């Protein structure tokens, strides 16, 4: 990893004094003790032995995937390629028309999402890292239309750009439709231990969930918070590389924490998720994060945290029929875990059990549920793979 | 686990003074420093992503397996059943004619082996635990013929019985043809931390590799050692649940050690492998084994040891064409490891790399290579499975 040089941050700080105001929120409705405080290391769940097959190999650091109605999979490769994998495992050439990406360190072509009415519109969204004329980088979102022969993206337009920053780390980013006409984009705080607390700075979109119109990119933000950038939904996040809409209709996210501080959150509009004011982790040097707080009034607790970390990639709730025992469980891709991390949620919303699935496939970057209920994973390798896990006979 | 009561050991001790003589061997040809001293924690090998399928479920604590020429698998279930699994995964009823087994604790029906000329003779061997009229138990080996319809074993005869002992632990036992007309049987020392050093007592077959005639059971022992029981090949073993003939034509074994002391050995005729005089492990209480020695003149070093332990089941060398990168590697079933432990051996016979395969299938009791080079594993569960791992497309 190359050294991170923090430059020209003054302009980004314009809103910092103001930002404090947004922390003056009352504590949770539950009172001083947050509902989910301190939840980690849930009891182990029984192992599930799955059949599996490598559907496609030769994917270079694949990052995101979306299944098309015909059963094939759009898969992003971080260096900047979008590929189509047929149900039989045939890998297409790179699809033309993908925006130029800044594929350094953690940057590149990241997530892909398709329209709910893709069969009619063939509309596709991509998230990726871009570099501007000032040599600053940021997460961007573009949308366009996949040609009928799936050979190219047409009419691609960038509809949203994150606040630029000098770093090639912590770009987020997952694309999640909110079911209400909006598109959530999860971002990163862009890394660097010496960097100011941009995740708490509401004049930037670093370390935020943002909510935009999926066609125009217009801010859809959140109700009831004034002064912050209009697309901001929630803040105080570190690096959210996983997000999904839960069966409860709410957004769920996972973020990379520092050592011992990976978090599962259920970000609500206008709320602060604490980074770097509170954290269950610490610097890799062993130093405290800020004052070493894990809880603070006006700051939300994670639903769950991991120590040691799993290094979360993508996530999804399991909703298929193939694995009845996984119904409603949360599946989180684990890079460091080298597995899919399974969390069972109780009726009270708390995590009642945890286990690891697919523990020998390497670094898991993304996880998805196929139309037939199979579990699909992407492995983050130079020679990465799309793997399909099934219940067998 | 029920408490182990050690009774009536006096008779078994008759040969102990004599046993000392057999330790007065010169050190290794290599001199005072054994060739493989202290080898553990070899460098990690690259992960291998495999396809896999559950061929059959519903096997109750399966223990051993052997593939028949038609591609089906004979599988033992520890409670005392022998089953046939067709290539399509159909599970037969229990095959009739299996000897009565003492299926308590670690005892029951254990290994199964077939004749090299099975297609003509249909001859099968079984290892299992028996209980005698004095209420003592031991490992036994029987042979018989599988009926043409595979519904029953005929003419079953017990051809060898281990020295009886009051315990229901540490029975060994794998059956390995030596390629020279003999049959190796690996045993256990029968457990119990207070028990005398039966593994060093050459008037018993506890903690020994024995070598017998596969039809008559007559001792075939080893050349050049006098006074010991005639079937003993090597001694000083703890509980060998894994064994195979290597591509070098030699016997290789794995044994359960105490905490931190699982061993890979290449037992040679008339040699002492040290239990409990030397060990790399210690009691689970933290107490030393004996004087806490790891090496001693006249005692062989393991090729490799594991700390933390893997709890080894069966083992095999990989020789198929399906996984060229595994060619010549040693595959060891790991119960505690919950995986197949892979060891790469260098030209010098030392272990040059280690990794884990099939890490999410649960406790692995046995591993075998199928005719087509697929890797087969049995999982040691109440609802155990026969799993087939392949290289995929």
Q: Nearest Cβ partner of B89 from A356, A358, A393? A: A393
- Tell me the pLDDT band of B192, cut-offs 50, 70 and 90: confident
ipTM here: 0.71
**Residue A386 located in a structural domain:** no
- On the question of pLDDT at B30 being above 60, the answer is no
Phi, psi (deg, nearest 5) at residue A306: -120, 130
CATH code for position B369: 2.120.10.30
| Angle at B215 (CA atoms; ends B214, B218), nearest 5 degrees | 75
| Mean pLDDT along residues B269-287 | 92
What own/partner pairs with CB < 8 Å and gap ≥ 24 does A141-147 have? A141/A173, A141/A175, A141/A183, A141/A185, A141/A212, A141/A217, A142/A99, A143/A214, A143/A215, A144/A97, A145/A121, A146/A74, A146/A95, A146/A122, A147/A122
Check if A237 is active-site: no
| Mean pLDDT along residues A117-135 | 97
Q: Is the dihedral of CA B234, B31, B15, B192 positive or negative?
A: negative
| Mean pLDDT along residues A116-122 | 97
Q: CA-to-CA distance for A86 and A75, rounded, in angstroms? A: 11
- Are the beta carbons of A47 and B362 separated by less than 8 Å? yes
**Using an 8 Å Cβ cutoff, are B127 and B174 in contact?**
yes
Which of B177, B190, B171, B336 is CA-nearest to residue B241?
Answer: B171
- Judged by DSSP in three states, B79 sits in coil
| Mean pLDDT along residues B93-99 | 98
pLDDT at res. A224:
78
The Cα diameter of chain B in Å comes to 61
Which of A283, A282, A253, A250 is CA-nearest to residue A265?
Answer: A253
Q: Nearest Cβ partner of A385 from B49, B359, B362? A: B49
- Tell me the pLDDT band of A38, cut-offs 50, 70 and 90: low
Full residue range of the structural domain in which residue B348 is found = 11-390
- pLDDT tens-digit profile of B121-171? 999 999 999 999 999 999 999 999 999 999 999 999 999 999 999 999 999
pLDDT at res. A193:
62
pLDDT at res. B286:
86
- Are the beta carbons of A54 and B360 separated by less than 8 Å? no
**Residue A17 located in a structural domain:** yes
Chain A contact for B49 (CB, 8 A cutoff)? yes
- On the question of pLDDT at B348 being above 90, the answer is no
**Using an 8 Å Cβ cutoff, are A220 and A232 in contact?**
no
pLDDT at res. B196:
54
- On the question of pLDDT at B5 being above 50, the answer is no
- On the question of pLDDT at A123 being above 90, the answer is yes
- Tell me the pLDDT band of B193, cut-offs 50, 70 and 90: low
**Residue A304 located in a structural domain:** no
**Using an 8 Å Cβ cutoff, are A83 and A75 in contact?**
yes
**Residue A356 located in a structural domain:** no
For the record, the structure tokens of B123 come out as 């001859």
- On the question of pLDDT at A32 being above 60, the answer is no
Chain A contact for B358 (CB, 8 A cutoff)? yes
- Tell me the pLDDT band of B16, cut-offs 50, 70 and 90: very low
Q: Nearest Cβ partner of B360 from A360, A392, A393? A: A360
Tell me which chain A residue has its CA closest to the CA of residue B362.
A47
Closest-CA distance, A338 to chain B, in angstroms, reads 10
- Tell me the pLDDT band of B8, cut-offs 50, 70 and 90: very low
* Of residues A318 and A24, more confidently modeled: A318
| Mean pLDDT along residues A283-296 | 89
| Mean pLDDT for all residues in chain B | 89
Share of residues in chain B with pLDDT > 90 (%) = 81
- Tell me the pLDDT band of B13, cut-offs 50, 70 and 90: very low
| Mean pLDDT along residues A177-200 | 88
pLDDT at res. A122:
98
Share of residues in chain B with pLDDT > 70 (%) = 89
- On the question of pLDDT at B31 being above 60, the answer is no
| Mean pLDDT for all residues in chain A | 89
- Are the beta carbons of B54 and A49 separated by less than 8 Å? yes
Q: CA-to-CA distance for A334 and B283, rounded, in angstroms? A: 36
**Using an 8 Å Cβ cutoff, are A369 and A319 in contact?**
yes
For the record, the structure tokens of A106 come out as 């953690």
- Are the beta carbons of B52 and A47 separated by less than 8 Å? no
Tell me which chain B residue has its CA closest to the CA of residue A379.
B49
- pLDDT tens-digit profile of A98-116? 999 999 999 999 999 999 9
Residues paired with B77 in a beta bridge: B62, B81
- On the question of pLDDT at A354 being above 80, the answer is yes
- On the question of pLDDT at B25 being above 50, the answer is no
- pLDDT tens-digit profile of B55-66? 999 999 999 999
CA B336, distance to chain mean position in Å, is 16
Domains held by chain B: number: 1
**Using an 8 Å Cβ cutoff, are B254 and B235 in contact?**
no
* Of residues B150 and B289, more confidently modeled: B150
**Residue A388 located in a structural domain:** no
**Residue B5 located in a structural domain:** no
**Residue A108 located in a structural domain:** yes
Q: Of A187-201, B169-183, B281-295, B320-334, which gets the smallest average pLDDT? A: A187-201
How crowded is residue A29: how many other Cβ atoms within 10 Å of its Cβ?
6
Residue B106: burial class (beta carbons within 10 Å; 0-12, 13-18, 19+): buried
**Residue A193 located in a structural domain:** yes
């Amino acid at each position: 990893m190359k050294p991170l040089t923090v430059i020209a941050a003054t302009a980004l700080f314009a809103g910092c004094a103001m930002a404090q105001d947004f922390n003056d929120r009352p504590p949770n409705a539950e009172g001083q003790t947050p509902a989910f405080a301190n939840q980690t290391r849930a009891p182990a769940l029984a192992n599930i032995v799955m059949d599996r097959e490598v559907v496609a190999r030769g994917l270079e650091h694949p990052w995101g995937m979306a299944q098309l109605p015909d059963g094939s999979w759009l898969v992003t490769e971080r260096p900047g390629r979008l590929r189509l994998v047929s149900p039989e495992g045939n890998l297409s050439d790179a699809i033309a028309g993908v925006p130029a990406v800044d594929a350094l360190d953690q940057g590149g072509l990241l997530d892909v999402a398709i329209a709910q009415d893709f069969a009619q519109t063939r509309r596709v969204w991509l998230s990726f890292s871009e570099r501007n004329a000032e040599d600053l980088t940021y997460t961007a979102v573009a949308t366009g239309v996949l040609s009928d022969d799936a050979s190219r993206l047409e009419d691609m337009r960038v509809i949203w750009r994150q606040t630029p920053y000098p770093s090639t780390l912590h770009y987020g980013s997952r694309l999640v439709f909110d079911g209400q006409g909006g598109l959530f984009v999860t971002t990163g705080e862009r890394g660097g231990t010496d960097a100011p607390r941009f995740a708490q700075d509401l004049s930037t979109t670093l370390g935020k969930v943002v909510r935009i119109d999926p066609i125009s990119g217009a801010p859809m933000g959140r109700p009831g918070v004034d002064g912050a950038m209009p697309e901001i939904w929630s803040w105080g996040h570190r690096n959210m590389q996983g997000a999904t809409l839960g069966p409860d209709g709410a957004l769920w996210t996972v973020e990379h924490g520092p050592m011992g501080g990976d978090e599962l959150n259920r970000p609500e509009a206008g709320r602060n998720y604490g980074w770097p004011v509170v954290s269950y982790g610490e610097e890799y040097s062993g130093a405290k994060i800020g004052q070493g707080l894990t809880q603070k009034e006006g700051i939300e607790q994670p639903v769950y945290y991991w120590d040691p970390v799993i290094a979360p990639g993508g996530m999804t709730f399991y909703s298929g029929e193939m694995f009845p025992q996984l119904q409603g469980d949360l599946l989180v891709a684990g890079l460091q875990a080298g597995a899919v991390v399974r969390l069972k949620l109780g009726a009270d919303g708390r995590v009642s059990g945890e286990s690891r699935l697919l523990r020998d496939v390497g670094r898991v970057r993304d996880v998805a549920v196929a139309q037939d209920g199979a579990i699909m994973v992407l492995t983050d390798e130079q020679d990465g793979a799309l793997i399909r896990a099934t219940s067998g006979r």
